[in-house]
């Protein structure tokens, strides 16, 4: 059985590029717990809060519940659920999962494969990360679910993965003249730019093309905040700052809150700005809450 292919084809609700990372987040969490205790089960009442925090932080902006993936992941053949009454999930209702003592764990066949192939866990985890989340979030997401991956696993490629266009970084940074589109940072060591990255507006994991009209040159800080939904880009190419963001320090006010309503820096004439379709996707699928009012220039 090709477990990577099965993982790549997890059944998820999708429409118009909608994010639904419920199953991938549960599976990443289960892999992290498997590393700690290969024989342990995940009782729903014991892990519900952990899973809810993951969905709140890394899931779509709309409210959701961990009960959905806890029940429905069984249909993908990688997860099993037992209750106090025996095998089988009681359904996706929160109350039913709580009251029946529902406990989930990786499917027996998958656990056996992980025991046979020690590197399989890392390959599955990397595949889930690549298919559902931008690279800027991979490290902290591994920490959040308790996954300890070997550095070499980051370089292993699977046949089921779509390849990125390595030219995009240079094209995007050139289009924005090697300046962060949000703050104007343009640091270099000699002739080499440092701390500048090419950010996908519509995530590559969700069909975002490797094109300048789907990219922004951002400093490392603003790239992370953009992918976390703290920052966004409005229809008028002005910066959006989420009202959910809280920061009381002068640095937080200056480098984040004060950006609200300011125009993007770039791209240079002749380069295509971010396309409306990609801005709209980010606003619906990544940006959290309502934008703050524009600050005084």
Q: Do the domain assignments include residue 296?
A: no
**pLDDT category, 124, cuts 50, 70, 90?**
very high
Q: How far is CA 131 from the centre of its chain?
A: 9
184 and 251 belong to one structural domain: yes
**Which tokens sit at 289?**
């809450």
**pLDDT category, 158, cuts 50, 70, 90?**
very low
27 and 97 belong to one structural domain: yes
Q: Do the domain assignments include residue 157?
A: no
**Which tokens sit at 134?**
């931008």
Read off φ and ψ for residue 233, nearest 5 degrees. Answer: -130, 125
Read off φ and ψ for residue 267, nearest 5 degrees. Answer: -80, 170
72 and 9 belong to one structural domain: yes
Distance from C-alpha of 49 to C-alpha of 54, rounded to nearest angstrom: 9
81 and 139 belong to one structural domain: yes
193 and 103 belong to one structural domain: no
58 and 134 belong to one structural domain: yes
65 and 194 belong to one structural domain: no
pLDDT at 155: 44
pLDDT at 207: 85
| Domain enclosing residue 93, as ranges | 3-145
Nearest to 134 by CA among 200, 212, 216, 45: 200
Instruction: Confirm if 242 and 289 have CB atoms less than 8 A apart.
Output: yes
Q: Do the domain assignments include residue 91?
A: yes
242 and 113 belong to one structural domain: no
User: Hey, which of 8-22, 188-202, 283-297 has the most confident mean pLDDT?
Assistant: 188-202
Q: Do the domain assignments include residue 139?
A: yes
Distance from C-alpha of 221 to C-alpha of 226, rounded to nearest angstrom: 9
Q: Do the domain assignments include residue 153?
A: no
Q: Do the domain assignments include residue 99?
A: yes
Q: Do the domain assignments include residue 154?
A: no
181 and 140 belong to one structural domain: no
pLDDT at 64: 81
pLDDT at 90 exceeding the cut of 80: yes
What's the number of domains the chain is made of?
2
* Segment among 70-79, 81-90, 116-125, 158-167 with least mean pLDDT: 158-167
Q: What is the mean pLDDT of the chain?
A: 90
The residue that leads in pLDDT, 154 or 281, is 281
13 and 117 belong to one structural domain: yes
Show which of 122, 145, 168 is a domain's final residue: 145
Distance from C-alpha of 236 to C-alpha of 131, rounded to nearest angstrom: 30
Show which of 124, 145, 166 is a domain's final residue: 145
Show Cβ contacts of residue 37 under 8 Å, excluding neighbours closer than 6 positions.
Answer: none
102 and 191 belong to one structural domain: no
The residue that leads in pLDDT, 163 or 244, is 244
Distance from C-alpha of 136 to C-alpha of 235, rounded to nearest angstrom: 24
139 and 11 belong to one structural domain: yes
Show which of 145, 169, 198 is a domain's final residue: 145
Q: Could you report the per-residue pLDDT of 197-229, keeping only the tens digit for each?
A: 999 999 988 889 999 999 999 999 999 999 999
Number of H helices, E strands in the chain: 12, 10
Q: Do the domain assignments include residue 54?
A: yes
């Amino acid at each position: 059985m090709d477990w990577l292919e099965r993982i790549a084809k997890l059944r998820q609700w999708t429409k118009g590029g909608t994010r639904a990372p419920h199953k991938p987040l549960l599976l990443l969490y289960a892999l992290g717990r498997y590393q700690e205790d290969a024989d342990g089960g995940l009782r729903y009442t014991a892990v519900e809060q952990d899973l809810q925090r993951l969905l709140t932080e890394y899931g779509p902006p709309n409210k959701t519940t961990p009960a959905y993936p806890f029940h429905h992941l069984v249909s993908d053949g990688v997860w099993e659920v037992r209750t106090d009454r025996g095998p089988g999930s009681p359904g996706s209702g929160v109350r039913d999962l709580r009251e029946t003592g529902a406990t989930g764990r990786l499917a027996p066949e998958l656990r056996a494969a992980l025991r046979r192939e020690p590197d399989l866990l890392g390959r599955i985890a990397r595949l889930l990360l690549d298919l559902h989340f931008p690279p800027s979030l991979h490290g902290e997401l591994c920490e959040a679910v308790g996954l300890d991956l070997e550095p070499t696993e980051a370089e292993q490629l699977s046949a089921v993965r779509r390849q990125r266009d390595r030219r995009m970084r240079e094209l995007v940074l050139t289009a924005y003249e090697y300046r962060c589109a949000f703050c104007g940072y343009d640091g270099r060591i000699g002739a080499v730019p440092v701390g500048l990255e090419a950010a996908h507006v519509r995530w590559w994991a969700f069909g975002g093309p490797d094109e300048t009209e789907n990219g922004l040159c951002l400093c490392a800080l603003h790239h992370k905040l953009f992918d976390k939904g703290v920052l966004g880009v409005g229809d008028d190419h002005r910066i959006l700052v989420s009202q959910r963001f809280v920061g009381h320090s002068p640095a937080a006010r200056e480098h984040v809150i004060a950006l609200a309503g300011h125009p993007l820096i770039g791209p240079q004439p002749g380069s295509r700005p971010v396309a409306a379709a990609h801005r709209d996707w980010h606003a619906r699928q990544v940006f959290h809450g309502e934008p703050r009012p524009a600050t005084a220039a």
